[in-house]
Amino acid sequence: MEDHLLVHSAPSARHHAENDARGYCLHTMLGRWFPNRQAQPPARYSLIRVSLLLSLVLPCCLGGCYWLKYEKLMRTHVQLMSAMTDKMNRLLEDNDPLTPAMMNEFLYPLERARDFSRIVAQRYADQPSLTAFNRLLDLYQSLVTEADRLRVQPGSLDRFRSQTQAVRDQAARVEALLDSE
């Protein structure tokens, strides 16, 4: 008999009957119920399970990290703002009306790009591509502001055209800097 373990039998006859029906007897060991009095062997594959779990979960967790996809995400933002610039240019050059809903459509990529810039600035603040990207965001903001002004007060497109060219040139600079980094 093991004197160093506090072993007590099940507290009631009903409990004994239930346990006997299952084919084993539960004993209380140190205040807890155990299916037998023997110590349970350690899990043989616990290290393998943990390694497998980490190998599956870690890529999923890191997949959402902006700093791992910095270049790809920045290129996506640059391409989207370039496409929106072309759309604004096409609409204004064809004298198609711009609606307030369209202005929101043009501003949404800017808001998302600013969020991206704010997040990656914690890790890439010294990157020339991020500085150029922030300059592109400022130029795009002024372009949207000019397009909104032209929506309300139609006039000469000269200023808009020069801002459109500035956005395109800056987008090309950002792409070139991303290629060189």
Domain locations in the chain? 63-180
Secondary structure of the chain: what % helix, strand, coil (to 5)?
A: 70, 5, 25
Would you tell me how many other CB atoms lie within 10 Å of the CB of residue 77? 23
CATH code given to domain 63-180: 1.20.120.230
Q: Is the pLDDT of residue 23 over 70?
A: no
Q: Is the dihedral of CA 96, 101, 104, 106 positive or negative?
A: negative
Of 106, 101, 72, nearest to 86 (Cα)? 106
pLDDT of residue 147: 96
> Which whole number is the average pLDDT over 110-118?
96
pTM score: 0.65
Q: What percent of the chain has pLDDT over 70?
A: 63
pLDDT band at 29 (very low <50, low <70, confident <90, very high): very low
Q: Torsion angle, CA of 50/55/56/59, rounded to 10 degrees? A: 140
pLDDT of residue 28: 46
Greatest mean pLDDT range, 35-44, 94-103, 138-147: 138-147
Q: Is the pLDDT of residue 141 over 80?
A: yes
Mean residue pLDDT across the chain: 80
pLDDT for 41-96, tens place per residue?
Answer: 555 556 666 666 666 665 545 445 655 788 999 999 999 999 999 999 999 999 99
Per DSSP bridges, beta strands 32-34 and 7-9 are unpaired
